[in-house]
Amino acid sequence: MVSKSLEEYLKTMYVLKKQNGNVRVTDVAKKMNCTKPSVNKAIYNLKDNGLVNYESYGTIELTQKGEDLAKKTLETYDIVYLFLKDVLNLQKEEAKEEAEKIKLAINDNTINKLAKYVHKVLGLRNLDCNYDVNQEKCRSCVKRTTAQI
């Protein structure tokens, strides 16, 4: 199991890959406002966990396992953000800030229950289909993408 901070690095790498097509240490350091040595340390920890492939001074590639964990991290943020913004009616910026903090502390069981609640309240779809943040099932049919938020 990787730490929440390593999940953040992984999520950032995934987003950068989607935006730019490739990811380098400098890109991650700039996006996360941290040093290159910090990114390198995280990369080697992620590599040891089979989440990325990386050779010094090359591009960073997420493994399938790494991509799945990055997607899960983004999904968790989306669910918490929707709850804060659309259910509790927080302002958009405040909801973003709070969602970032909360997603670091929430466990899978809680996020699964929160997802079912959020989707039911917002009328997106009834998630009585064994929704699980660790599975791909249901995500494509019920998730509101970040672009829609």
- pLDDT tens series, the chain, 149 aa: 788 889 999 999 999 998 888 899 999 999 999 999 999 999 999 999 999 999 888 899 999 999 999 988 888 888 888 889 888 999 999 999 999 889 888 888 898 888 888 877 776 554 444 555 555 444 444 444 333 43
Supply the pTM of this predicted model: 0.75
- 44/80 same-domain check: no
Domain boundary among 62, 84, 108: 62
The residue written with tokens 């987003």 in the block is 15
Based on the domain organization, do 44 and 85 belong to the same domain? no
Q: Note whether 105 and 127 are same-domain residues.
A: yes
Q: Are residues 58 and 81 in the same domain?
A: no
| Run of H or E including 52 | strand 52-53
Q: How many CB atoms lie within 10 A of CB 131?
A: 19
Looking at the structure, tell me whether residues 48 and 96 fall in a common domain: no
Q: What pLDDT, on a 0 to 100 scale, did the predictor assign at position 142?
A: 44
Instruction: Please name the residue that has the structure tokens 């799945």.
Output: 68
Q: State the total domains in the chain.
A: 2
Write down the number of H helices and E strands in the chain. 7, 2
Same domain, 119 and 139: yes
What residues make up the domain containing 9? Answer: 4-62
Q: Which amino acid is at 122?
A: L
Residue 72 vs residues 48, 56, 103, 119: alpha-carbon distances, Å: 20, 27, 11, 17
Task: Look up residue 149 and give its DSSP letter.
Answer: -
